[in-house]
Structure formats: C-alpha cells, structure tokens
Amino acid sequence: MPHPRCGPEDTPEQAWPDFPEELPDLPPSPGREKPPWWDVPEAGPMNQMQFMLLFSRQGKLRLQKWYVPLSDKEKKKITRELVQTVLARKPKMCSFLEWRDLKIVYKRYASLYFCCAIEDQDNELITLEIIHRYVELLDKYFGSVCELDIIFNFEKAYFILDEFLLGGEVQETSKKNVLKAIEQADLLQEEAETPRSVLEEIGLT
Amino acid sequence: MSDVVERTLSALPGLLGQHDLGAGPGGGPGRFSATSRLGGLIRSITALSSKHEEEKLIQQEQTNLKATVSAPTTTLRLMKECMVRLIYCEMLGYESSFGYIHAIKLAQQGNLLEKRVGYLAVSLFLHENHELLLLLVNTVVKDLQSTNLVEVCMALTVVSQIFPREMIPAVLPLIEDKLQHSKEIIRRKAVQALYKFYLIAPNQVQHIHDKFRKALCDRDVGVMAASLHVYLQMIKKNASGYKDLTESFVTILKQVVGGKLPIDFNYHSVPAPWLQIQLLRILGLLGKDDPRTSELMYGVLDESLRRAEINHNITYAILFECVQTIYTICPKSDLLEKAAKCIGKFVLSPKINLKYLGLKALTYVIQQDPNLALQHQMTIIECLDHPDPIIKRETLELLYRITNGQNVTVIVEKMLDYLRQSKEEYTIINLTGKIAELAEKYAPDNGWFIQTMNAVFSVGGDVMHPDIPNNFLRLLAEGFDDEKEDEQLRLYAVQSYLSLLEEEDTFYPQKFLQVMSWVLGEYSYLTNDGDPEVTITRLHRLLKQTFVTSETKAWIMTAITKMSSRLSCSKTVDKLIQEFSTSLDTCIRQYAFELKHLCENKELMKKLLPLDASCDEIMVDASLSFLDGFVAEGLSCGAAPYKPHHQRQEEKLSQEKALNFEPYGLSFTSSMSSSGFTGRQSPAGLSLGSDMSGNSAEIGQKETNCLKLDGVRKLWGKEGYLPKKENKTGKEDKTQPVPLDSILIGHVVDPPLMQSEQQVVSLSEEEKEKQQLASTLFVGLGSNSTMSLMGRADTINQKLKKKSKISESQNSEEASSFQNIATLPFSPLPDTTPNNKENFQGNEHLGLRKVSLSPSEVLETSVSFDTSQSLTEAGLDEKLSNCRLSTSSLFADRNIEVFQPPQNVPDIVASKAPLSLCLPEELAGHPHSEIVELCSCDILTVYSCKVWTDDCSLLVLFVANNSTSPLKTVNLVFESTEHFKIFESLSYHFPVIEAQSIERCQKCVQLEKVCTEGILSGSISYHLDTDTHLEFSLTFSLSDFIRPMKITTEDFGRLWLSFSNDVKQNINMSPSQGSLSIALNALKQKLKLHIVEIIGNEGIAACQLLPSIPCLLHCRTHARTLALWFRSSCSALPDSLLYQCQKMMAES
C-alpha cells in the first residue's frame, strides 16, 4: 500500500523522474529485499547428490566435492563426524547409513573409502554404482589405480569426477565419453609449450 | 575391481621412496610425481607424526605460497602449481582464502591448462553465494564465446557447478545458443548448466521450455539424458503440465530397455541404467493418481521388470525403482503382483544392502498392501534384532507404518528401546515425534500413555520438537468428551509426576520439568491423599537446583502460585517468598512479589486462579480502546501522534534517499482503498489501519509479561483436539491382555502363516518367541481378518479426520477473528509467544483484506435445483448397469479427444468442453477464458472457466453429471495454498445434480502471495454406491490478477515517489517489436496495463494487483533495447511483473 506523505504542494516540472543515463544491467540493489520465491527454488526436494568424500582408512581426507553450499565450518564438522562414523562400521555391515536427514552411501576400495551423501528418498543402490563407476574411471585412467595416484594427482581425480558427475547429477554415463573428454584436455598438457593458435585448432574433434 | 586396487600400498612412506622419479609401475600419466613441489609437500606431511607438526609445516607452506602468489613476477605456470598446493592445504582443513582471488585470476589469464586448474580451484574454494564469484562472470562470458571447444567446455562445467544467481541473465543467452552447437558435449553441458539455473532460479529459465523439449529429442543420448534432469524437477513441481510427454518417455524407456542404445552406455551389460532409473522416476510422477497416463506405461514397466534379471547390483537398483514406480502410479494387479515378488526377493536376500532396500520398499508400499508385511513377518522380526542399527531403524520405520490399536504397545516398546540407545540428535527428534504420535493416537489406557510420554520426555529431553509437550498438555487440558476419563488421566499424570519428583537430585530435562510443573499446578488438587504442602515442597526443592533454567523456574513459580491459591496458608510458600524476594534473577523476584501480594488477598487470588479453567477463554480488548481518552489527552497536550515501527523506519530510510528532496505529493486517493490510512493519525484509527497488527502484537507482548499467572490457563484454545471416541469404544477390549497363543491361532488363516503353523512343531524355543512377537506385531493386518482391516481403514480415516478437524478449527478461529478482532486470545507462555504472535498478525491481516473487499464482490451463486428425491431412491440399482454402459461409451468418445497431439501450452491439454456449456448472462459480458475440461470420470465431468471482472478473478466450475441417475451430495473442495485465497469458503456443496445435467459454482480467487504462476488444486467427491473422489488442478498466473489502473500523469508522479520497491531491467527487442508504442501496446494487452502517457521514446503505465496493490511501469526504448522500470508498494510484485514482461517479449 502506498503511504502518501504530506508535504508542500509544488509538483516538479516533470511528472516522473528521469532515467539515470546509464541504466545498470543488474536489477537488484544491495539493500532491496528479494521476494521470497526468488531465493527458494520452487523445485522442491532435489534428488541430487549432496557431497562426495574420499578418505583413507586412517581417516585422512583425500578428495572432497560439495554439491550444496555450506560454510567451511560445517564442511569440517560433517567430514569429521562422517569419517568417524564410517570408520567405526564393521566390514559386513550395510553400505548405507542414516545420518542427520541424509542417507550416506559408502564403499571401501582397498585402503580408500568412497562416501556419498544423498537424499533419503533417493536410490541407494544406484549411488553405490556411481561410486563404482567412478572407481572404474579412475582405474582406467591411471591404469590400476591406487591410493597414491589419487594423493599425488588429486587434481586429475577432480577433473574426472567433474566430467562424470556435474552439480551432483550423473552427467555422462558412457565410460568412453568421459575418458575421451579427459584425454582431449590432457592432450593439451603435452602440447602445453606450443603456441596457442595451434591449440585452438586441436580443440575437440 | 577391489582386487585390482587391493594391490595398493599399506605403508605409505615406504612406497614413496620408490616413486621418486615420477613414473610408477602402472605407467599412468604423471604417476606419483613426487619430485614436484606438491610431491615434496605431501611426502613431508606423511612423514610427520603429530598434528602439531603438521600445523607448523602447513603454516610455513602457506606463508611461502602467500608470498609467491602475490609477487608480481610469478608466472602463470608457477601460479598453477601454487593453486594445486593450495587445494591440498584446504583439503587438509587449513583455510587458504588469500589464494581465492588468484584462482579467479588464473582462470582468467592462464592458457588452457592453467585455466583448467584455475576453474577447478574456483569451484572447490568458493560456494555459489561467495562474493568473489562475481569476478568470474566476465571470464565465463569470454570463454563461452571462445572458438576453442575446450574453453567452452570448461566455462560450461564451472557454470553448472557454481554461478551467482543474480548473474544468470549475463550468460543465459550465450548458453541458450550452445543448445544448437554441433558438438554433443557442448549441447549436453549447456543443458546441464540450464538445469543448474533451473534449480537456483527457476523463473529465469521458464521461457526456454521449448528448448528443453528440443534437447529431449536430441539425437545424442547424452544430451537427451541431461534434459531428463530438468524434466524430473519440472514434473515434480507440476506433473499435470507434462502429461503429453508421457508417451515420449515411455518410448525412450522402451528403446533403452530393448538395448537400442549404443553399447557405450551399457554398464555391466545393462543398458544405460542411470537413464532407466531417471525415466522410471519421471513415469512414476506422471502416472500418480492418473489412470489414463498410468495405462500408457504398464507395458514398459512390465518389460523393465522382466529384463532386469542379471544378478548384479545395478539390476537391483533398477528393480527397486520399478517397484517404487509401480506402487506410485495407479495400480494394476498383475504388475503389483510382480512387484511384490520383487520386494520378496530383496527382503529375503542374504546381501545386507538388498535386505535394507527390501525393508525400505516394504515401508513404502505397506499402507497399500498390508498383506505383504504378513508374508515377511519373520524376516521383519529378525531384522528388528539385527546387529546393524540402520536395518533396525528401517524396520522400526516399517512397524511405525503398520501400528494400530492392537500392536501399539509392542511397537512403541521396540522404538523406545532403540531410542534409549541412540545418541544422534536427529534420530532422537525423529523417533520421539513418532512415538508421541502413536501414543496419542492408539494409547490403550491412561497408565500406558503417561508412562510412554514420560519416557519420551526424559529421553527426548530438550531436543524433541516443542509440539510434543504442547500437544500433550493440550490433550490433558481439553480432554475428551468423557469428563470422568479425563480426570483419571490427569490424576494418573499427577501421581506419576509426584513419584518422579520424590527422589532428590534426579536430573530431568527442562521441558519435562515444565510439563510436570504445569500439570501439578493445574491438577494436583485431584489427589485426595496427597498433602499440597508436599507437592509444593518438591517443587520448591527444584527451584534451588542449579540445572533448572530460569525459564523452567518461571513455570515452577506459576505452578506454586496456582496451588497456593487453594491453601489458606503454607509455610513453604512463605519461606519461598522470603527466599526469592531477594533473588538476583529479576524475573523470579517479580514472581515472588506477585505471589506475596496475591497471598495477602486470597479472595482476589481465588478469583484470578479458578480451578480447572485452563480452557476458558478470556476476553481481551486488543484495540485498547480504554486508553483512547489517555491518548487524546496526550495529543491535546501537544504530543506527537504514534507512528508504528515500520512507518518510522520507512521514513528514516526515505530520508536517506536523494529522491526525497523532491516535494512530497498529496495523499493519493483513487480507486485504491487508501481510506484506511488517511485516518491513521487519529487515536481512534489505532484499531483500524494496517499498523494495527504490529501494534497489537506489541501490546500483547506487554500483557504477557504482567499477566503470566492467569495466562497459563489460557494457552490452549478451545478447538483443535480430536476427541477420540471411536478409539475409546475399542479401548475396553484392547486393555485386556489377550493371551498370545489365541492371537496366533486367530491369525493363521493366511496361507503363509498356515505353513509356519505347520512347522511350529519343530520350532525351537527362540523361534517360538519370535513367532509370538510376530503375532503381537502383525495383529490387525491383512485381508483375512475383515474386522481388523476395517479397523485399519478406520484409523486412516481417523487421521484424516483429525487433520481436517484442526484445519476446520483454524478456519473457524479465523472467522471469529474477522468478526471480533478484540476477542483474539493471547498466549502468554514465554516459549509459545513467538508463534502465536505471528498467528495474531496473520489473522489481523486477513481480517483487513476481508474488510477491504465489499460484499458485492464476493460471489457465490448456485443454481436452484429441482430435486425429486423419490426418483433417486427408486430403481437406483437397476439404473446403475445402464449408466455404466452409457458412460463407458461416453468415455470412449472423449478418449479420442483427450489424446490430442501435444501442444506447447500445458493448460490446453485438456479437451474442450461441450457446446452446451455457457456462462451466465451476467458474466458472459466480461472477458473470460475458454471453458476447458478439468477432470472427469465415468460419472461426472468438471469444466472450468476463468472470468476476469474488473474487481476480481472468478473461477467458474461446471459439474456435469454424465450418468443417468441423479448424484447426491457432490462436494467440491479446494486445497488451501499459500498463494491463493478463495472466497467465501474453500468448499462448495451441490445437494443434488440431476442426471445428464450441469450445475455451476463460482468462486472469487485472490492472489494472497505474489508469484508468477501457481497451482490451485482441489477435489470433487460424490456418493454413488461408494464414495468417489476426483482430483483436479489448474494454473493461475499473475496476469489473471492484474487489472489496469486508470490514473493521471500527476497521480502517477506522486505515487512513483512514494514507492520504494523497484526493479530495472533492459530487454532486447526483436525488430518486429519495433517502436515503443508497439511494445507498450503488446504489454497493455497481455498484462492488462493502463498506458498513462507516452512522451517521445518514453512511456508510463500503471496496473494493480487485485484487490488494490498498485504497480507502476516507466519504460524507454533506446536503440534495440527496451528499458523497463517497475515500482510498487509490494516488494514481490515488480520482480514478478518484470518476469511476465520478459516472457511476453520473448514469445512475441
């Protein structure tokens, strides 16, 4: 509702104010309150993965990927709690775990634990297979992968993960396609020294 | 796989030495490059033995890195290496925020390789609300336009992971272009990016739905699969809008299942399992409650079940999804049978993961098919004692779903056992809620109920949901219809608490103590034997405990006050007054003083604190009219009139704005109902204007502080709790402990049980025990015992009833608040006030809205009926067969119409209405939508039509009776939503609809909360042989509620200055949209704007959101862009209107 204010009665020459000469491209001014629907995605519960952690039997974190925005403090707390909980599980126990309002799906490969958090209504088994597919990809890329590969080349592990899972959803299910994308980018590594124009021709063929 | 990896190191440092030269045995690219700086860092960290040493080392490393990254001479190549090390530091848990900005720089300046690491670092370091992310936008825009595919891929990858929501418009057109890219990887990533946008800002991508359709039809499987993510979310939100795609999804799934996809997409020789699961989920959502759509997918579901036969996790994952889908959509018996068999396979599997999923599936389907639980009862019992807590937990969840009056004690016992062992807060909150719910619903007797709740309160402590104690107290206070029963319950509670408090120094959670003190204060008089002095002494003892918080102390003091009103004198009370009159806690001190004064005047005290009056309402004059004289006096003495907080703040804000130096306009009175505000400065206006809500809430708060004592009794409103009569009739029988054996025998009629009965002879003791447990757990389930099945149905009904009762009471509360704002109850307890305060404001607000609507606007017409009751009764049975026949043929006819080729606008999927439908004369003159079919079944069809009158949006519903017999008691009920308000009520009742005739009802719909589009759903139910229930939903968009506002340029200017919520945006115009006047006219027609004036290349327009929220638009064309500037008094309106404009411009 307008709250008309009383004041002197001399109306300005122009009936409405001028546009500022340079209209900013971005609408929101910092002080303005956004409407509620703006901030809350109306899409309801998302079936996407919340985060993925890789840690060793000793509880050392080897890889972390967060698909939901969280503060560093929260991330640390979650990691600590989860590593503890998962390591305390006995080998023959279920690969699934209820934790807060999330479902944790984990699997141990040799000395390394792969651990994903999903929503309760999501399919746990397929998540287990996502982990397995990721391990397969790592294995194929590194050639019988071991923990050391991931320790020393964690950025590669991240690149592979990003080609496979994007924003918490499976992006590409074809193993061949994922590795092709990674290899294309790696090809650049070897040519890193060559001038850029050549690089641009390579691209992705 | 694990065998391969098993060959990894066991002793890290030992192996490290062997890999010094960076080429490992596997020969993978760049294996263990321990010679690099990163390698060095990792190696030295692994060599360390203590956390402290690690900290020191990292600190040193970070200092080095800081110096390196900020040095101007550092090459990008070195920077890249630094970034990798920073990522490593962060992973170890050491914050390295100094490097964030350099990660962005690296992404911006580096060559491809460096850029890749830069982007990776950014995506790992920053979250999507991080402010530094804004600096990345330009880089992303540049890379999106690059001719190098790798760069484009990287940019799209980062956008799909993190992107600032408010920057979406900057990249959206670029990404949309990429949907046409020749490379499938680019198209796929573009879809993925748009999916991300859809998740974080669904409104921004609404206009590109067509493009998603194109992606769905993409020749590349990956692109198609990516588009399914978007569709899953969109369908989740609004399934009815995508029904036309069902056949496409079914076809795709058929192809996938049939192995038509390239072999690359196979996973362990199962074709594209991820794709299958995604499709199954979508189908489940589409087929839910929709028999026609479900019909389309039966075939493919059957095939999916059949094809998934390899014994591998992945096939089980698909099977699980299939089962879920089959139970979600409209049931088909042979599919259900197969799905049930599948669940059996899971449940009986020796693999623990599969067993878990079996339990999960059982939990999901149990209410539809209780027999299934009977079949697997022995497995369930075994799982109840499973060593893995998660299996136990899921079993309890399952049992929770099958609880009834007969098995409640056993199940709750099991749940309490689990609860006592669990430490995790979330589990405790979850379980206590469930136990309290079950106890309230099915309690066999008073003793059990109170004991169970005691357990809940002691274990749940202060983490449980606050509703639990509140509901419990309300239940005690309001009771059932049987006064005697109520008293017994209260008496039992009092006795149990007294005995709990007998022991000294026992710790109880605060919430439990509060419950105890309230109950003792209210009802301790019920015990005849107990001396009130003893009770007071026990409470007094608590006051001195250190673990008792001051909030709890306030509850205890209140209880003591209440009790002392019934005593002529008490030493303990006197002692207490003395003790606490000097307390350092001011709150307690005040209580002590109040108590002291009240004790001096016992008559007043008795009047103030009557016995058992917690449910009586107290009249409160919320308008504070008795203060009018005082206010008038103050004003006449020159005091400034009162301004509510928000007005003061607004004025303060507007003073900071440069614009406010302009002269103020006069108060504006046009079609808007601003009359309520003109009187705001008079004291009497206090009880009228919108500031009222804030005002009275504040006062309510004040009242609370000094009226706490008698306020306690008022906490619980009159309505809201369901007297459980049905439950009670059964209670007598249930309380008798039935011999277990007899139950066992009573239930072995079921075939699977029969088997087990035969085996009983050879059963061991332990197994017998299990059998007995089973018989107590599963009593009242299954189809063999019609009695108990009925009982089950009853309980479901009861649940619904309880809910509806609550909402009903809320409605009536609201209604009463409209009539008499002054009688609104206060809720004085400190922990409950916030909630009630909100309600209070809410009510007030509604009241106001209501007032602003003149009675003539509220339309609810019903056409008169010529009922002939006798006809309905006679020959109903006979007619029934006829009518079935005729309707089915009718149905068949319509069928053809319904499955029209898919159209882009989801609303028009429904078939057109028969010609005989028409609007009544008084409405036909107004603009209105087409009459479309909303929902239908054999018996009746509902059509809808929107009529846009000047002052409201009317929804006209036609209900056609297709059958040959009259329909009686047809009820139409709308679901209440936050977005819309429906006048007068949410429901409409047709006493009778004659055979083959059409009845009509109309409702005025108002937008309660601004949104661009919302769904209004409801259901229609009728009785013919059985009760039938039909659901429908329809979409309303913002433009349905927008009307032109006819004002002059001067008024526009004044209003413009008074509004603070504004939004500006530039929109590109296509050449066809041409000049300003063409664009404005288009907007005028689509959005129902009133064009106030056009001067040169600038124009102003005005509209209002019904009933009367104005919104102003100032626009200007420059070159090919249209600059739009919206202002309104409502903060959400400009954004939403802008979105509508964008959508409209994009469409035209």
The pLDDT tens digits of the residues spanning B1094-1123 come to 877 788 889 888 888 888 888 887 777 788
**Average pLDDT for B831-849:** 39
**Average pLDDT for B472-479:** 86
Q: Is B617 exposed, middle or buried (0-12, 13-18, 19+ CB in 10 A)?
A: exposed
Which has the closest alpha carbon to B460: B505, B510, B514?
A: B510
Contact with chain B for residue A167, Cβ under 8 A: yes
**Average pLDDT for B801-829:** 39
Residues 128-147, chain A, touching B (beta carbon < 8 A)? 128-129, 132-133, 135-136, 139, 141-147
CB contact under 8 A, B88 and A170: no
pTM of the complete model:
0.61
Q: Which two tokens mark B739?
A: 């011999």
* Degrees to nearest 5, angle at CA B977 with B1022 and B209: 100
Residues 84-103, chain A, touching B (beta carbon < 8 A)? 90, 92-101
Q: Given this model, what pLDDT does residue B141 score?
A: 94
Numbers of helices and strands, H then E, in chain A = 7, 7
Query: Are A2 and B672 a contacting pair, CB within 8 Å?
Result: yes
Query: Are A51 and A116 a contacting pair, CB within 8 Å?
Result: yes
Q: Given this model, what pLDDT does residue A63 score?
A: 93
Q: Given this model, what pLDDT does residue B5 score?
A: 38
Q: Given this model, what pLDDT does residue B530 score?
A: 64
- Token pair 């998603």: residue: B212
Least confident of B753-767, B908-922, B1088-1102: B753-767
Q: Given this model, what pLDDT does residue A46 score?
A: 56
Distance in angstroms (rounded) separating the CA atoms of residues B179 and B972: 45
Least confident of A18-32, B460-474, B1038-1052: A18-32
Q: What residue type is assigned to position B919 of the chain?
A: L
CA dihedral B754, B755, B761, B766 (to 10 degrees): -100
Which has the closest alpha carbon to A89: B387, B849, B1115?
A: B387
**Average pLDDT for A181-186:** 82
Q: Measure in Å the smallest separation between the Cα of A188 and chain B Cα atoms.
A: 7
Distance in angstroms (rounded) separating the CA atoms of residues B326 and B646: 54
CB contact under 8 A, B31 and A204: no
Least confident of A36-40, B490-494, B996-1000: A36-40
Query: Are B223 and B184 a contacting pair, CB within 8 Å?
Result: yes
Q: Measure in Å the smallest separation between the Cα of B237 and chain A Cα atoms.
A: 6
Count Cβ–Cβ pairs < 8 Å, chain A vs chain B. 367
Residue to mutate among B10, B15, B31, B383, with most A CBs inside 10 A, is: B31
Which chain A residue is nearest to residue B227, measuring alpha carbons? A171
Query: Are B1001 and B988 a contacting pair, CB within 8 Å?
Result: yes
Helix (H) or strand (E) holding B980: strand B980-983
Which chain A residue is nearest to residue B1116, measuring alpha carbons? A19
CB contact under 8 A, B1053 and A192: no
Helix (H) or strand (E) holding B629: helix B628-636
Radius of gyration of chain A (CA): 25
* Residue of B203 and B853 predicted with greater confidence: B203
Q: Measure in Å the smallest separation between the Cα of A173 and chain B Cα atoms.
A: 6
CA count, 13 A, side-chain hemisphere, B562? 29
pLDDT at residue B503 tops 90: no
Query: Are B123 and B110 a contacting pair, CB within 8 Å?
Result: no
Out of B92, B1058, B1123, name the one closest to residue A23 (CB): B1123
CB contact under 8 A, B1 and A136: yes
Using a CB-CB cut-off of 8 Å, the residues of chain A touching B681 are: none
| Helix axis angle, B168-178 to B184-200, nearest 10° | 150
CB contact under 8 A, A35 and B668: no
For chain B, the residue count is 1148
pLDDT at residue B787 tops 60: no
Cα B657 → chain centroid? 38
Which chain A residue is nearest to residue B1065, measuring alpha carbons? A27
The verdict on ipTM greater than 0.90 is no
Collect all residues with Cβ–Cβ distance below 8 Å to A94 and sequence separation of at least 6: B352, B353, B355, B356, B388, B390, B391
Query: Are B204 and B193 a contacting pair, CB within 8 Å?
Result: no
Using a CB-CB cut-off of 8 Å, the residues of chain B touching A133 are: 267
* Residue of A69 and A134 predicted with greater confidence: A134
Query: Are B712 and B518 a contacting pair, CB within 8 Å?
Result: yes
pLDDT at residue B1003 tops 50: yes
Distance in angstroms (rounded) separating the CA atoms of residues B962 and B46: 79
Which has the closest alpha carbon to B488: B499, B478, B474, B476?
A: B476
- Across A33-47, B278-292, B1070-1084, the highest mean pLDDT is recorded for B278-292
Q: What residue type is assigned to position B970 of the chain?
A: V
CB contact under 8 A, B1050 and A139: no
Residue to mutate among A72, A109, A119, A129, with most B CBs inside 10 A, is: A129
**Average pLDDT for B422-443:** 88
| Helix axis angle, B291-307 to B333-348, nearest 10° | 40
Confidence band for B194, pLDDT divided at 50, 70 and 90:
very high
Distance in angstroms (rounded) separating the CA atoms of residues B837 and B701: 8
Using a CB-CB cut-off of 8 Å, the residues of chain B touching A143 are: 26-28
Q: Given this model, what pLDDT does residue B664 score?
A: 53
Query: Are B1130 and B1071 a contacting pair, CB within 8 Å?
Result: no
The secondary structure of B372-395 as a DSSP string is HHHHTHHHHHHHHT-SSHHHHHHH
- Token pair 């290349």: residue: B1097
- pLDDT tens digits, one per residue of B446-474: 889 999 999 999 888 888 888 889 889 98
Q: What is the 3-state secondary structure (H, E, C) of A77-89?
A: HHHHHHHHHHHCC
- Token pair 């003083």: residue: B593
Round to the nearest angstrom and report the end-to-end CA distance of chain A.
60
| Helix axis angle, B221-237 to B184-200, nearest 10° | 10
Mean pLDDT of chain A: 74
Using a CB-CB cut-off of 8 Å, the residues of chain A touching B665 are: 4-5, 7, 11
pLDDT at residue B155 tops 90: yes
Q: Which two tokens mark B572?
A: 């303990």
Q: What percent of chain B has pLDDT over 90?
A: 16
Cα dist from B256 to A125, B218, B276, B304, B313, whole Å: 19, 15, 7, 10, 18
pLDDT at residue B499 tops 50: yes
CB contact under 8 A, A166 and B161: yes
Confidence band for B120, pLDDT divided at 50, 70 and 90:
very high
Which chain B residue is nearest to residue A171, measuring alpha carbons? B226
> What pairing do the DSSP bridges indicate for beta strands A169-170 and A165-166?
antiparallel
Distance in angstroms (rounded) separating the CA atoms of residues B1028 and B339: 27
* Residue of B449 and B729 predicted with greater confidence: B449
Query: Are B1141 and B1038 a contacting pair, CB within 8 Å?
Result: no
Confidence band for A56, pLDDT divided at 50, 70 and 90:
very high
Go through B322-339 and write b for each residue having 16 or more CB atoms within 10 A of its CB, e for each that does not: bbbbbbbbeebeebbebb
Out of B31, B390, B1125, name the one closest to residue A94 (CB): B390
Which chain B residue is nearest to residue A102, measuring alpha carbons? B426
Least confident of B428-442, B507-521, B914-928: B914-928
Using a CB-CB cut-off of 8 Å, the residues of chain A touching B1131 are: 32-33, 35
Out of B264, B426, B1100, name the one closest to residue A16 (CB): B1100
Q: What residue type is assigned to position B607 of the chain?
A: K
Using a CB-CB cut-off of 8 Å, the residues of chain B touching A57 are: none
pLDDT at residue B712 tops 50: no
Distance in angstroms (rounded) separating the CA atoms of residues B575 and B579: 6
Helix (H) or strand (E) holding B1034: strand B1026-1037
Q: Given this model, what pLDDT does residue B628 score?
A: 84
Compute φ and ψ for B935, nearest 5 degrees: -160, 160
Q: What percent of chain B has pLDDT over 70?
A: 74
Q: Is the peptide bond before B1107 cis (omega within 30 degrees of 0)?
A: yes
- pLDDT tens digits, one per residue of B307-346: 877 788 899 999 999 999 999 999 888 999 889 988 988 9
Round to the nearest angstrom and report the end-to-end CA distance of chain B.
56
Q: Which two tokens mark A166?
A: 């994007």
pLDDT at residue B573 tops 80: yes
CB contact under 8 A, B267 and A42: no
Residues 33-62, chain A, touching B (beta carbon < 8 A)? 33-38, 41-47, 61-62
Q: Which two tokens mark A93?
A: 């126990």
Q: What residue type is assigned to position B1032 of the chain?
A: F
Confidence band for B656, pLDDT divided at 50, 70 and 90:
low
Which has the closest alpha carbon to B240: B894, B1033, B1000, B818?
A: B1033
Distance in angstroms (rounded) separating the CA atoms of residues A37 and A34: 8
- Across A108-117, B858-867, B936-945, B1067-1076, the highest mean pLDDT is recorded for A108-117
Distance in angstroms (rounded) separating the CA atoms of residues B520 and B491: 10
Residue to mutate among A173, A178, A187, A196, with most B CBs inside 10 A, is: A173
Residue to mutate among B141, B150, B1092, B1131, with most A CBs inside 10 A, is: B150
Using a CB-CB cut-off of 8 Å, the residues of chain B touching A53 are: none
pLDDT at residue B242 tops 70: yes
Distance in angstroms (rounded) separating the CA atoms of residues B430 and B1088: 49
CB contact under 8 A, A38 and B1135: yes
Q: Given this model, what pLDDT does residue B808 score?
A: 43
Q: Given this model, what pLDDT does residue B919 score?
A: 77
Q: Given this model, what pLDDT does residue B529 score?
A: 66
**Average pLDDT for A71-78:** 89
Q: Is A6 exposed, middle or buried (0-12, 13-18, 19+ CB in 10 A)?
A: exposed
Confidence band for B937, pLDDT divided at 50, 70 and 90:
confident
Which chain B residue is nearest to residue A14, measuring alpha carbons? B1053
**Average pLDDT for A6-32:** 37
- pLDDT tens digits, one per residue of A87-104: 999 888 999 988 888 899
Q: Given this model, what pLDDT does residue B781 score?
A: 67
Give the three-state DSSP class for B96: coil
CB contact under 8 A, B1132 and A37: yes
Which chain B residue is nearest to residue A71, measuring alpha carbons? B127
CB contact under 8 A, B203 and A37: yes
Q: Which two tokens mark B364?
A: 């999901």
* Residue of B825 and B363 predicted with greater confidence: B363
Q: Given this model, what pLDDT does residue B253 score?
A: 94
Q: Given this model, what pLDDT does residue B830 score?
A: 39
Q: Given this model, what pLDDT does residue B885 score?
A: 36
